[in-house]
Amino acid sequence: MSSDFEGYEQDFAVLTAEITSKIARVPRLPPDEKKQMVANVEKQLEEAKELLEQMDLEVREIPPQSRGMYSNRMRSYKQEMGKLETDFKRSRIAYSDEVRNELLGDDGNSSENQRAHLLDNTERLERSSRRLEAGYQIAVETEQIGQEMLENLSHDREKIQRARERLRETDANLGKSSRVLTGMLRRIIQNRILVVVLAIILVVTILMAVTFSVRR
């Protein structure tokens, strides 16, 4: 399981390095190349998000006692992803301003005002994204706690079922032992009655013999 996670880590590191390099090149490219580069970066950002989702799924499958280290690494990767998206948004804003100025011939002051406004909106979106991410993290941790509780309850249920089975086996063994002891006690009583009867017969026989001898 950890080997799969580390494989995704390597792919994510390579992909984010390429994205960072391309974002830094966007402002220096001609308009046509910029458009193509922006589309390329958008595609790679989607691929990076998919890798993060796969890594997140792998972390959920890791045993709870080993999950902490991987969870910390996931938080670091998500922060890195958020920074890349922010840098890309700023790069796109600069690119959009250049295209707009070329098409509409806006002056520099108007462009700066629009850029400031867009950056302000971007910051608001980032704060909202961070709040959503914090909420998602809480939900994930709550789900993990719930899974651990369900696992513990399942283990306890198995222990109770095994204890019940042992009690049933003990009851069955006690029943068999009771029947054996009852049979033994019955045979002992029968043997004693037989001995008493034989003793009485022997005594009577002796008395009759003695009486017959005396009379003669």
Domains and CATH numbers, the chain: 3-103+122-160 (1.20.58.400)
Provide long-range contacts, Cβ within 8 A and 24+ apart, for 101-104.
102/31
User: Each residue of 6-58: pLDDT tens digit?
Assistant: 899 999 999 999 999 999 888 888 888 888 999 999 999 999 999 999 999 98
pLDDT for 114 beyond 90: no
Question: What is the amino acid identity at position 75?
Answer: R
Collect all residues with Cβ–Cβ distance below 8 Å to 52 and sequence separation of at least 6: 12, 74, 77, 78, 81
| pTM score, whole prediction | 0.44
Q: Give the integer Cα–Cα distance in Å for 40 and 19.
A: 9
179 CB-contact burial (10 Å; exposed 0-12 / middle 13-18 / buried 19+): exposed
User: Each residue of 138-185: pLDDT tens digit?
Assistant: 656 656 755 775 576 567 778 877 878 887 887 778 778 778 888 888
Q: Give the integer Cα–Cα distance in Å for 216 and 212.
A: 7
